[in-house]
Amino acid sequence: MPPELDVHPGAFPPMPPADLNAPEQLVDHDWRAFTMLDRMTNHWARPGWTSGRRVYYWMLTFPDASDLRAQAQRCQEELSHLAMDRVPGKGLHVTMPRIGDTDRVPEGQVQLLGDLTEQMPVETFRILAHPMAGSRGAIRYTLSPWSPLVRLHAALSDIGRQACVPGGKPTAGFRPHLGIQYNNQDRAAAPVISSVARLRTLSPVPLEISSVELVELRRTSGASPAYRWNVMRSIPLRPRSPRVPPL
């Protein structure tokens, strides 16, 4: 069983879904939370993100997921009238645990963290990316199921504690998602919700999760702010065990 999620005021949605594995319930849960927003906030208005800041994170990245990139680009085109900041095709990602600012995590700790993660007993798994929902500051895919993502987040967080890195939000507040564009101003949510609703008939995109990346993350500013990263280490997940068919 995956670790339990809990109500977390800093997460979106703050209340976790009742079922972490039922796609229809997860899609409905995300959408209901989005439709309850009155206003959207500027994603980039976050204290502490200076131009020189560098942070180690665990991420799931999708450099070879051509179907995902094509559909995300289609959705971005459909939403271009909103003038949000697009996530580049090569920048699509699922954020996993934060490790810590680079000035607080020495090279030896990064090495230890990677070595411990290579022993992690987490198998490759598949998820679906469902178009389309949103949060206070972004437009994003809903992912299903959540259970393997929550298990992976918890395993990485446990390893972070073993390696004594600063870490980030607890797994109890983890809400898996995959963003396609960031809101860059305070605005009424209703027109955005209405636009996003038209994309919800698109088919979900299957994704194979076979590795997790330790990245050095930075944020660029200017006319088109974005997240950029360097992959420090890519850790393959274990191959799926063959399933014994029932008698």
pLDDT number for residue 2: 58
Q: Which tens digit of pLDDT belongs to each residue from 60-104?
A: 999 999 999 999 999 999 999 999 999 999 999 999 999 999 999
Give exposure, 75-85, as e/b (b: 16+ Cβ within 10 Å): bbebbeebebe
CA 204/CA 128 separation, integer angstroms:
6
* Residue 213 falls inside a structural domain: yes
pLDDT tier, 247 (very low <50, low <70, confident <90, very high otherwise): very low
* Residue 98 falls inside a structural domain: yes
Residues 6+ apart with CB under 8 A from 235: 114, 117, 118, 120, 211, 212, 213, 214
* Residue 7 falls inside a structural domain: no
Q: Are 156 and 97 in contact (CB under 8 A)?
A: yes
* Residue 175 falls inside a structural domain: yes
pLDDT number for residue 107: 94
Residues 6+ apart with CB under 8 A from 161: 167
CA 185/CA 165 separation, integer angstroms:
33
* Residue 16 falls inside a structural domain: no
pLDDT number for residue 48: 78
Mean pLDDT of 205-226: 92
pLDDT tier, 245 (very low <50, low <70, confident <90, very high otherwise): low
* Residue 186 falls inside a structural domain: yes
* Residue 127 falls inside a structural domain: yes
Q: Residue 135 belongs to a domain with what CATH number?
A: 3.90.1140.10
* Residue 228 falls inside a structural domain: yes
83 is in which domain, residue-wise?
35-44+53-236
The yes-or-no verdict on residue 37 having pLDDT over 80 is yes
**Between the CA atoms of 81, 83, 85 and 89, what dihedral angle is there, to the nearest 10 degrees?**
20
Domain count of the chain? 1
Average pLDDT value for the chain: 94
Q: Of 69, 15, 38, 75, whose CA–CA distance to 193 is shortest?
A: 38
